[in-house]
Amino acid sequence: MFMEQLIEKYFRPGRLPHIWCPGCANGIITGALVKAIYRTGLDKDNIAVVSGIGCSSRASGYLDFNTVHSAHGRALPFATGIKLAAPQMTVIVITGDGDAAAIGGNHFIHAARRNIDLTVLLYNNNTYGMTGGQYSPLTPTNSKASTAPYGTVDRPFDLAALARGAGATFAARGSAFHAPMLVDLILSGIRHKGFSLVEAVASCPISYGRQNKLGDAPAMLKWQRDHAVPAAAYEKLNDEQKADKFPIGVLHQADAPEYTEEYAKIIARARKEGGH
């Protein structure tokens, strides 16, 4: 399907243009999401899209599903409630690096630990875009930020490793530059039963790029092209070669009991043993 038809099918009439700056990668990533949803063949009525607060989280308002633009960091609790109360629904979370890994970090690791069947699409632009470029838990060390005029001291998270360590059964990373691959990764994430993280490396030329002299929007996308390495090839690199590269692709996949299915068993047991 062409993008125009996808827009007609999955974007809400009258809600565009979006609020994103020219050159922002959020549009590419949101486009990849609807392409993946199209390929699932799922009914729009059966999909919930839940976001937090941030530039990226505004995507929920443009999309024609059951949508929640929740509070900063709180998309995962809302999404968990929807999934638990209506397990037949497909629940997708849209979040930013600050939303998911700073203020929502605790919810992130616990949702992963539960292995509840949610797909988290995390727009990682390495900054707090919406509030004007303060440093996030994904800002590389020694970067400039509006709250780090002398450079950042903090070390960034490796989100896929964090999710895996917390118990997620699917973790992938893609980038806005490698958009077709991102579609595949999101599709795999949605199809995977359990907690899935798809980190999409984004670019924010306005709040992050400018401060760090990363060039314009095309230059930032070219940086992704030049620094992303498919996971299998990345593994073969030595530490020095790895230093300024990042792996893309499916980084972790495992099988584990899914939360809502396990809770259904609790209900069955309680009904047999308990009874009111």
Partner 1 sequence: MSKTLLMQGNKAVAEGAVAAGAEFFGGYPITPSTEIAEELSALLPTIGGTFIQMEDEIAGIGVALGASLTGKKVMTATSGPGFSLKQELIGYAALAEIPIVIVNVQRVGPSTGQPTAPAQGDVMQARWGTHGDHPIIVLTPASVPECFRLTVRAYELSEKYRTPVILLMDEIIGHMREKVQLPAYDSIPKPERKKPLGPPEEYRAYSGAQTDLVPPMAAFGQGRRWHVTGLIHDEYGFPDGSGKATQELLDRLFAKINNHLDDIVETEEYRLDDADFALVAYGGTARAAYAAVDLARAEGVKAGLLRPITIWPLAEKQLKALGGQVKHIIVAEMNRGQYVLEVERTVAGRCPVTLYAKCNNEAIAPAELLAALQKAKQHTGGA
Ligand X SMILES: Cc1ncc(C[n+]2csc(CCOP(=O)(O)OP(=O)(O)O)c2C)c(N)n1
Residues in touch with ligand X (CB under 6 A)? 53-56, 72, 96-99, 123, 125, 127-131, 136
Q: Are strands 246-253 and 170-175 parallel, antiparallel or unpaired?
A: antiparallel
Say whether residue 102 binds ligand SF4 (CB under 6 A): no
Q: Are 98 and 124 in contact (CB under 8 A)?
A: no
Residue 205 binds: one of partner 1, ligand SF4, ligand X, none (C-beta under 5 to 8 A by kind): ligand SF4
- For 39, the 3-state DSSP assignment is helix
Give me the least distance between CB of 50 and ligand X, in Å please. 14
Among 30, 70, 127, 136, binds partner 1 (CB under 8 A): 70
Q: Are 121 and 198 in contact (CB under 8 A)?
A: yes
User: Secondary structure of the chain: what % helix, strand, coil (to 5)?
Assistant: 45, 20, 35
Among 137, 156, 205, 249, binds ligand SF4 (CB under 6 A): 205
Interaction pattern, residues 256-275, with ligand SF4; x per rule: CB under 6 A: --------------------
Give me the least distance between CB of 186 and ligand X, in Å please. 17
How many angstroms separate the first and last alpha carbons of the chain? Answer: 52
Say whether residue 211 binds ligand SF4 (CB under 6 A): no
DSSP, residue by residue, 263-276: HHHHHHHHHHHT--
User: Which 8-state DSSP code applies to residue 194?
Assistant: S
The residue range among 66-74, 126-134, 136-144, 205-213 that interacts with partner 1, by the rule CB under 8 A, is 66-74
The residue range among 85-93, 94-102, 131-139, 168-176 that interacts with partner 1, by the rule CB under 8 A, is 85-93
Give me the least distance between CB of 187 and partner 1, in Å please. 21
Contacts of 95 (CB under 8 A, 6+ apart): 51, 52, 54, 56, 57, 75, 76, 104, 120, 121, 122, 123
Give me the least distance between CB of 4 and ligand SF4, in Å please. 23
Residues listed for the chain:
276
Residues that bind partner 1 (CB under 8 A): 12, 15, 44-46, 48, 50, 53, 60-61, 64-71, 74, 76-86, 88-89, 106-107, 110, 263, 266-267, 269-271, 274-276
